[in-house]
Structure 1
Amino acid sequence: MKTNISILIALFFSATALAQPKQSVNEFKNWPKGTSPLVIGKRIADRFVATPHTNFGRPTPPKVITYPESCAWYGALKFAKESNDAALKVQLAKRFEPFFREEASLIPIPDHVDYGVFGAVPLELYRQTKEQKYLVMGQNIADKQWGPPEGKRVVPESHVFYNRGLTWQTRMWIDDMFMINALQTQAYRATGNQIYLDRAAKEMVVYLDSLQQKNGLFYHAPDVPFFWGRGNGWMAAGMAEILSSLPKNHPNRPRILKGYQVMMSSLLKHQATSGMWRQLVDVPASWEESSGTAMFTYAMVTGVKKGWLNQKQYAPAVRKAWLALVARIDDNADVSDVCEGTNKKNDLQYYLDRKRITGDLHGQAPLLWTAAAFLQ
């Protein structure tokens, strides 16, 4: 009983600390027919529910749930909550139920950031249903991320990072900053335990100090000096994710907020006339890419609505980006111009030559986050 009371108290004070009046934004209203976040979010969420477990667009089924599916599932749940769609929530929970039985082997072993982000899904299900089985699963995954290094995919520097209070899954790839922050921030939201938020905030500051450049953008990794669109999108979304729950008096909040605002300012300068951002953010000759654009849009919507960004300056850019993304959604609710899965490589041409895919969940996921953020 004491534990339950302490959790309730922690949740109350964290919610009180973060309570802010919602910003009324004219640019986020009066959408052309068929383009509103409510309509688009519903279309993409329904498409996700009807989609079998995917393996990065390959015809073979995955051995475990991949991170794009986890991120899309998380987004669909957020959209169900913000749109008050009880039927969608039931469908998303029903899709998850086999993991407790015949599909248990599809749960990824959380020995890597891309596998750990799966835990954000049961934690969100717990937040919406209060069913203990979801909390047990999700919290176990979050705890393992900061447990002793284990598994076959341990990075060589794991013990160094672990001894510095970081997760042993630290790679210094910007992709990590959504994967880690989504999981740890969700664990905080579900339990009220400050340790999860402190872990994520400390990790984020280290990545900011290591990878953000003077122009506000981020190298993909210390040895890959290119501003890859979706990689920067993961970072932007990760900062929006943690800032949404980080109390104003948290010692790491000023550093994270500064890094976020500097990045958003830089992104405004690089937005194409179409409203999109590019595969390489700072290379005008590179192609316009949907997943990074959706992640940047999510980060900006969140910032405008929570008062971190100047509404007059950013809201028009957000509206333009959203409408550009909607134009890339086909009749099947699949998003086009999504960069294929990308490893890191110190080669400019490697990033320019990445394939453009339609229907990849890398693109569906952030559109769901964004639709939910508009409705929040």
Structure 2
Amino acid sequence: MKRKPTAMLLLFPAFIHCSMAYSQLKNFPQNSSPQEVGKRVVARFLASPHPNFGRPTPPSVITYPEVCTWYGALAFAKESRNKTLTAKLAERFEPLFGADTGLVPEPDHVDHTVFGAVPLELYQQLKDPRYLEMGKRIADKQWGSPDGPHVKPTSFVYYKQGLTWQTRMWIDDMFMITAVQAQAYRATGNSSYIDRAAKEMVVYLDSLQQPNGLFYHAPDVPFFWGRGNGWMAAGMSELLRSLPEDNPDRPRIMEGYKKMMASLLQYQAEDGMWRQLIDDPASWAETSGTGMFTFAMITGVKKGWLDAATYGPAARKAWLALVTYIDSNGDVREVCEGTNKKNDRQYYLDRKRITGDMHGQAPLLWCAAALLR
């Protein structure tokens, strides 16, 4: 009598195939492992003064590129189980409770409110209630009543729709908003934080995602800017990795995420990088957007959202390309400078290409943490 193959035997080829694909995100060459790269970039961060968008003068408040790098450094410290590193990152924060309290941004704009992600991460690792109080206050204010110098007539319209009054329909927002709200959920377990972030994300997806899966910088700026799309890719990844499976908005966000990842796969260059304008062959290889796309793909493969055999090699190629852009000081090269929106292709092509800008340092740390997660 001929026996039928057991379920285990039927699954065995798939298991081998999947294991080989996941191995793409392990066993990196010397000086390219997430442990090595993460330590170098965090050390550079800890040695750096508070940046001010390339200006020689100190900032009036902590800027969002520093926030994103600080958050990445803390995530790396956690995933590498380096409590000494966490302590050093907390030491950098301590003056913000005292002499430097004026550097804490008021939560009156998405670029200021994202600051809350840092104290909320410190709370999760150290359990000091000071961090939780500060982070919750900031996250709550984002969905409070419109207040402050950045309030516009549209702020009240969005507020009445149950969205944050800080909504402005720039794709950058979908990291700034989702990062702090997801962190508030992780720190408190209160699902209202991540539920409202998910609702916000769906509105942005329905409004801004184009048929090819990518995003214009804004509705009136029809260019696929690299880092702008990177904010969206990273924001969806951060949201989805903590969004409960039964959240009613999860399927729509996952659909938008997978559509974007499939498009990015088509535009990845032979060397593993993505360009300043994603679909423009005349554009230059840009590291901050590439880092954000790499983080999104690593997260998708590790969480099982993306086919590991397809996206694992793409993520590995991108990571190995990125690490070649880190110089001997731990600074990342070819980072697009801070960029406003403008309906002009040449404007994006002519943006300054900076070394050491924290827009580029941050996603390298997100990637390192994701590879270890």
Query: How would you bin the TM-score normalised by the shorter chain?
Result: over 0.9
Q: Provide the C-alpha distance between the structure 2 equivalents of 1:107 and 1:349, rounded to a whole number of angstroms.
A: 36
AA paired with 2:71? Answer: Y
Deviation at 1:28, TM superposition (A): 1.3
Q: Equivalent of 2:337, from 336, 340, 346? A: 340
Q: Provide the C-alpha distance between the structure 1 equivalents of 2:88 and 2:97, rounded to a whole number of angstroms.
A: 16
Deviation at 1:349, TM superposition (A): 1.0
1:363 is aligned to 360
Q: Provide the C-alpha distance between the structure 2 equivalents of 1:320 and 1:32, rounded to a whole number of angstroms.
A: 12
Q: Equivalent of 1:292, from 270, 283, 289? A: 289
Q: Provide the C-alpha distance between the structure 1 equivalents of 2:188 and 2:269, rounded to a whole number of angstroms.
A: 41
- RMSD of Structure 2 on Structure 1 (CA): 1.2
Contact 2:21–2:309 (8 Å) recurs in 1: no
Q: Deviations over 1:116-169 (max 9, x none)?
A: 000000000000011100000000000000000000012331000000000000
1:61 is aligned to 58
Is 1:45–2:42 an aligned residue pair? yes
2:85 is aligned to 88
1:226 is aligned to 223
AA paired with 2:154? Answer: E
Contact 1:23–1:306 (8 Å) recurs in 2: no
Is 1:35–2:28 an aligned residue pair? no
Is 1:238–2:242 an aligned residue pair? no
In structure 1, runs of 5+ residues without a counterpart are 1-21
2:126 is aligned to 129
Contact 2:21–2:312 (8 Å) recurs in 1: no
2:270 is aligned to 273
Q: Provide the C-alpha distance between the structure 1 equivalents of 2:271 and 2:254, rounded to a whole number of angstroms.
A: 28
Q: Provide the C-alpha distance between the structure 1 equivalents of 2:237 and 2:181, rounded to a whole number of angstroms.
A: 14
AA paired with 1:176? Answer: D
Q: Equivalent of 1:248, from 245, 254, 265? A: 245
2:7 is aligned to none
- Pair 1:23–1:241, CA change in 2 (3 A): farther
2:351 is aligned to 354
Contact 2:21–2:308 (8 Å) recurs in 1: no
Q: Equivalent of 1:304, from 279, 289, 301? A: 301
Q: Provide the C-alpha distance between the structure 2 equivalents of 1:356 and 1:67, rounded to a whole number of angstroms.
A: 19
Is 1:179–2:185 an aligned residue pair? no
Is 1:147–2:144 an aligned residue pair? yes
1:192 is aligned to 189
Q: Deviations over 1:1-59 (max 9, x none)?
A: xxxxxxxxxxxxxxxxxxxxx99711112211111111001100111011110101211
Correspondences of 1:311-322 after superposition (within 5 Å):
311-322=308-319
Contact 2:105–2:113 (8 Å) recurs in 1: yes
- Pair 1:188–1:221, CA change in 2 (3 A): same
Instruction: Give the share of equivalent positions with the same residue, in percent.
Output: 70
Q: Provide the C-alpha distance between the structure 1 equivalents of 2:65 and 2:152, rounded to a whole number of angstroms.
A: 22
Correspondences of 1:90-105 after superposition (within 5 Å):
90-105=87-102
Q: Provide the C-alpha distance between the structure 1 equivalents of 2:117 and 2:196, rounded to a whole number of angstroms.
A: 15
Deviation at 1:256, TM superposition (A): 0.1
Contact 1:24–1:305 (8 Å) recurs in 2: no
Deviation at 1:190, TM superposition (A): 0.5
Deviation at 1:346, TM superposition (A): 1.0
SS at match of 2:153: coil
AA paired with 2:333? Answer: S
**Total equivalences in the alignment:** 356
Contact 1:338–1:363 (8 Å) recurs in 2: yes
Q: Provide the C-alpha distance between the structure 1 equivalents of 2:82 and 2:244, rounded to a whole number of angstroms.
A: 29
SS at match of 1:157: helix
Contact 1:279–1:339 (8 Å) recurs in 2: yes
Q: Equivalent of 1:164, from 161, 164, 181? A: 161
Deviation at 1:247, TM superposition (A): 1.2
Q: Provide the C-alpha distance between the structure 2 equivalents of 1:184 and 1:296, rounded to a whole number of angstroms.
A: 21
Q: Equivalent of 1:328, from 325, 330, 337? A: 325
Contact 1:184–1:197 (8 Å) recurs in 2: yes
TM-score, with normalisation over the residues of structure 1?
Answer: 0.93
Q: Deviations over 1:47-95 (max 9, x none)?
A: 1011110101211110100000000000000000000111100000000
In structure 2, runs of 5+ residues without a counterpart are 1-18
Deviation at 1:248, TM superposition (A): 1.2
Q: Provide the C-alpha distance between the structure 2 equivalents of 1:351 and 1:38, rounded to a whole number of angstroms.
A: 34
Contact 1:155–1:171 (8 Å) recurs in 2: no
Contact 1:23–1:307 (8 Å) recurs in 2: no
Structure 1 segments of 4+ aligned residues over 3 angstroms from their partners: none
AA paired with 2:370? Answer: A
AA paired with 2:73? Answer: A
2:4 is aligned to none
Q: Provide the C-alpha distance between the structure 2 equivalents of 1:134 and 1:297, rounded to a whole number of angstroms.
A: 30
